[in-house]
Structure 1
Amino acid sequence: MTKSYKILFLSSTIMGTLIAISSYSWMSMWIGLEINLLSIIPLLSEQNNLYPSESALKYFITQALASAILLFSVILSLNISEYPQFPNTFSMMILNSALFTKMGAAPFHAWFPEVMEGLNWNNSIIMLTWQKIAPMALLMYNPQMTTLLTSVIIMSTIVSGILGINQISMRKIMAYSSINHIGWMISSTLNCQSIWLIYFTTYSIITLNIILILKSLNVFYLKQLFNSLNSNKPLKFFFILNFLSLGGLPPFLGFLPKWMTINNLVQNGFFTLSAFLIIFTLMTLFFYLRITFSTLMINTSETLIFQSNKNSFTVMFANMISLSGLVACTLLFSNL
């Protein structure tokens, strides 16, 4: 049963994000971010388990530090005439760094997998999707610093690919996957912000599908996943297809926003950046494929006794939407 205080704090978390992205001044944006932060801490912590409380404390310290840096950069930019030794680009760089820390982009990413490791799947959904909206929106409001953004994009794709390979925890795999997608989302904001909206929506749908499957199986590690999926063939099928979609393979919905992002980058002359994105995303695709191959062929077993599994309607419906999404989008865009 959902506790009433969770509904209260969830609604104020949503309200904090909406205040931040709809504000006209940096001060009210900062207030919105603080409301969001202070509201999500009670959602993350649990009385009967130390790990979520530890994650909540790590999250609070990191976000409070980023908020302080953001407020400092705003004050510095307002009083820039009194400090001629600090150019305006310096304060903008500090501001962008604070936003990168809040969203968990490399090289400010180290807190994100550690926080994710202690959370349950409900809080993981919030952390992977909703908590990215406000920093991304505020980043789009800033004057674009192409060199800084390009560096963060390349580092996010490299770091997520290298560090994600050795993981056996599904929460950490999803965290490094999110860091990789943050790089793609930032690159989609360079020229066309509507592509970012399509990318974020698609990423949220696929992530939600994967986490619904993992939550229904009560799985947190790869070994548990292999054992659980052997007895449930429909969920195994949907899980494999969703992971391939998350990697951006062509027949699936996850290919659409990456295709649009690369197309937009090439049209605007970002040839080197698009090449880096494609090459280093293959590293994340490698550990996606390793999980799917292991699930499908290596760690699979057949039981002689037939087991009828009643899968959740929500899981099945969400997966059907995700898997039929590319067909729908192709038909839609071809008729526009």
Structure 2
Amino acid sequence: FPPITIMLLTSNSLNPTLLTTMAIASTALGGWMGLNQTQTRKILAFSSISHLGWMAATIAYNPKLALLAFYLYVTMTAAVFFTLNATKTLSLSTAMTSWTKAPMLNAMFMLTLLSLAGLPPLTGFLPKWLILQELTKQGMTPM
């Protein structure tokens, strides 16, 4: 919780242009580096970097929206960690083999991972859409 707390407390004094530039870099780097990973802990680490970038992009303009994104991210990540712990999964290849042991749990696990990725019909898309709306409202469309 410390990164979002520090960002919330200092959001009024931060340079919005610099913060948005760093947020874009964080989001792009986290997404790009997470693509080539097979271990679930590394995928979730890069997902954290990317999601913190999304939160940083909007915290100067709408801190409540950044908190909404944070709460949804924590909820979805906790569900993923609990599932990984229950199935003793360390990589994506072992996640595919645990399908026979707990099919419903694995189906929910895959849906939660897709939601973390931000696919449109799922919950993880909501904060990203709202953040993009807020940035557009603030006139940040070139970024």
Q: What's the TM-score once normalised by structure 1's chain length?
A: 0.41
2:57 corresponds in structure 1 to 187
For this pair of structures, how many residues does the alignment match? 143
Other structure's SS at 2:11 match: helix
Amino acid at match of 1:137: L
- Partner residue of 2:10? 139
In 2: Cα distance, 1:219 partner to 1:132 partner: 28
Q: 1:271 is aligned with what amino acid?
A: T
Residue aligning to 2:23? 153
- Which residue number in structure 2 is paired with residue 83 of structure 1? none
Structure 1: stretches of 5+ with no match in the other structure: 1-129, 274-336
Partner of 1:215: 85
* CA distance 1:219–1:131, shift in 2 (3 Å): farther
Partners of 2:119 and 2:28 in 1: how far apart?
19
Spell out the pairing of 1:235-254 with structure 2 (5 A cutoff): 235-254=105-124
* Rounded Cα–Cα distance in structure 1 between residues aligned with 2:54 and 2:141: 14
Unpaired segments of 5 or more residues in structure 2? none
In 2, Cα distance between the equivalents of 1:234 and 1:160?
29
In structure 2, the partner of 1:270 is 140
Runs of 4+ in 1 over 4 A off after TM superposition: none
Aligned-pair Cα RMSD in Å: 1.5
- SS of match in other structure, 1:272: coil
Aligned partner of 2:103 in structure 1 is 233
CA distance in 2, matches of 1:223, 1:245: 20
Superposed CA offset, 1:134-171 (max 9, x none): 32223324x12123212211211221122112211100
Q: CA deviation at 1:270?
A: 0.5
Please report how far the alpha carbon of residue 176 of structure 1 lies from its aligned counterpart in structure 2 after TM superposition: 0.3
Higher relative contact order (CA 8 A, sep 6+): 2
Deviation at 1:258, TM superposition (A): 1.2
Aligned: 1:175 with 2:45: yes
After superposition, where does 1:13-162 map in structure 2 within 5 Å? 130-141=1-12, 143-162=13-32
Which whole-Å CA distance do the structure 2 matches of 1:230 and 1:156 have between them? 37
Match of 1:196 in 2: 66
- Separation in 2 of the partners of 1:133 and 1:164? 21
Identity of aligned residues (%): 35
* One-letter identity of the residue aligned with 1:232: A
Structure 1 CA distance for aligned equivalents of residues 38 and 121 of structure 2: 27
User: Which of the pair has more CA radius of gyration?
Assistant: 1
Scaled by the length of structure 2, what TM-score is found?
Answer: 0.91
Distance of 1:159 and 1:220 partners within structure 2: 23
